[in-house]
Structures are given as C-alpha cells and as structure tokens.
Amino acid sequence: MDINRIINIVKAIPKNKLHDDKTIRKAIQEAGKAAGKTFSDAELNKYVRQFRGFAKGGSSLSLLSMLLKSGVTKSQIDDIKKKMGRK
C-alpha cells in the first residue's frame, strides 16, 4: 500500500468539498485503486459516512483504529505522523 499516494488523494479534496458525498466517494475509490482494492457500493457508502464523521471533528483514535483494522502498520502510521510534523 502506498500510503503517500493515499495521503495526497485525501489532501487534494478541497475544504469546501469535504461534505460532498460525490467528491468523497471519488477520493475513496482512487485511494482504493492505489491500494489495489475495489469497493462495493455498500462499502463506499460506509466509508463516506465514516469520512464525513471524521471531517466534522471525529476522534483521531477512531481513525487510528480503522487504519489498523484495514492493514496499515504502526510503522506506516508513524511515517504519517512524521510527514505531518507530529511526534
């Protein structure tokens, strides 16, 4: 999984489009392709709901939990933190 590509896809979403389901859906599909995955409509709808919840100020711990369940490793999460300037 190329986490950098996925981060760039998410960063490319304009702030005024963070609540636009069509834009979020497209970004999730692109991220899935980057990870070699194809999502069903039900999965896309679930991920769009989760993304909207997180974009509204959801807990970073819930995002961390989702990432770990999705196969992202702790070292990849540490790399993300470094890129974001966090320790």
Per-residue pLDDT, averaged over 48-65, amounts to 71
Q: Is pLDDT of 42 > 90?
A: yes
The predicted pLDDT at position 83 comes to 65
Residues 6+ apart with CB under 8 A from 53: none
Q: Is pLDDT of 10 > 90?
A: no
Euclidean distance between CA atoms 34 and 15, whole angstroms: 22
Band of residue 6 on the pLDDT scale cut at 50, 70, 90: confident
